[in-house]
Amino acid sequence: MIGKCSYVVGSQGEFARQILLEVWLQSQTFVSAQYPKRLMEHLKEVCGYRMEERYKGIYYIQKESDILPTQLIVTSRVSEEENMWLWSLTNKLEKQEEIRRLIDEYQRHKSNTLYESVMDIIVRANYQEFEEVRGSMCKALEELMADVIAERQKEAIEQGLAFGKNCANRENVNRGNKENKYKKSK
């Protein structure tokens, strides 16, 4: 997951690009809205893990024997300006401006599957909020989704035509069978 998020974040500025360079492409990442103080204390004191906050709200949790690196992203501590996509990994987006900004940013990168993956997570976690924005941004959302809608319409038309042809062929076969029966009976 962090490989995807770090790549998305990487396009937002030099600070974020540094995160991309330092983030392991394969890691175990936990995302939390609040800092899990008791868990972090337990991992440090009882289990012998080292914790390092390398960037605001992004913690590296390490033990020498670990094969798979571990990170913790605390969304309430991540800088919204520097890491908009990580900051938005929550089910508590409240302001319509935040959602509009996400939609605008996503529109610039909608062909990138990494953005698509993160945006899908954010929308599913904040479905009601996106529904509210949809009412006031219907035109913009239609523009955002125009290529997807057009592709789905094309597929639906093709399926409908194929179904119609199939039905017509069956009807012609049935009609032919009836005519053959009629001719035989004469």
**Predicted confidence band of residue 123 (pLDDT cuts 50, 70, 90):** confident
**Predicted confidence band of residue 176 (pLDDT cuts 50, 70, 90):** low
Q: What is the spatial distance between Cα 11 and Cα 17, in angstroms, rounded to a whole number?
A: 7
Query: What is the rounded average pLDDT of the residues 20-47?
Result: 79
Q: Please write down the HEC assignment for all residues of 95-108.
A: CHHHHHHHHHHHHH
Query: What is the rounded average pLDDT of the residues 59-72?
Result: 84
**Predicted model pTM:** 0.53
